[in-house]
């Protein structure tokens, strides 16, 4: 999965970088580089924040459901069940974050190719 993500990210970033530097003069290259890296870093943080927010909200809901007795689990199995559920929540958050990045990458690709 990381290989596919890396290939996609590198493919998109090189298109974005090429588009960012198209039509600018030599004196503007330094500013364009700083701007591009700034946007790239902010985008990465924003993506991480989305995944974290999604995961945190689902963990909160799961804990509330545990306290209210929604799950009828044998006390001997509770630790294993909780661990599995939390792992599933993290996995789902990562998958949803990956989906958002994939959709955004597809949009950028389509817009880049249409120019």
pLDDT band for 7, please (50, 70, 90 cuts): low
Least confident of 1-10, 63-72, 99-108: 1-10
pLDDT of 80 strictly over 90: yes
Token code pair at residue 57: 């909200």
- d(CA 112, CA 106) in angstroms, rounded, equals 10
Token code pair at residue 39: 């946007």
Q: Is the pTM of this model over 0.85?
A: no
Count of structural domains within the chain: 1
- Rounded to 10 degrees, the C-alpha dihedral 80/81/84/85 comes to -150
pLDDT band for 24, please (50, 70, 90 cuts): confident
Q: What is the domain extent for residue 15?
A: 2-113
């Amino acid at each position: 999965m990381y290989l596919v993500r890396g290939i996609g990210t590198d493919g998109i970033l090189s298109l974005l970088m090429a588009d960012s530097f198209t039509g600018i003069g030599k004196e503007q290259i330094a500013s364009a580089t700083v701007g591009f890296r700034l946007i790239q870093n902010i985008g990465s943080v924003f993506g991480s924040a989305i995944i974290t927010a999604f995961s945190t909200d689902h963990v909160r809901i799961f804990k509330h459901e545990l306290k209210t007795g929604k799950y009828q689990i044998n006390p001997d199995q509770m630790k294993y069940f909780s661990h599995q559920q939390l792992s599933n929540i993290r996995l789902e958050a990562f998958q949803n974050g990956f989906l958002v990045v994939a959709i955004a990458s597809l949009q950028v690709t389509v817009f880049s190719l249409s120019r």
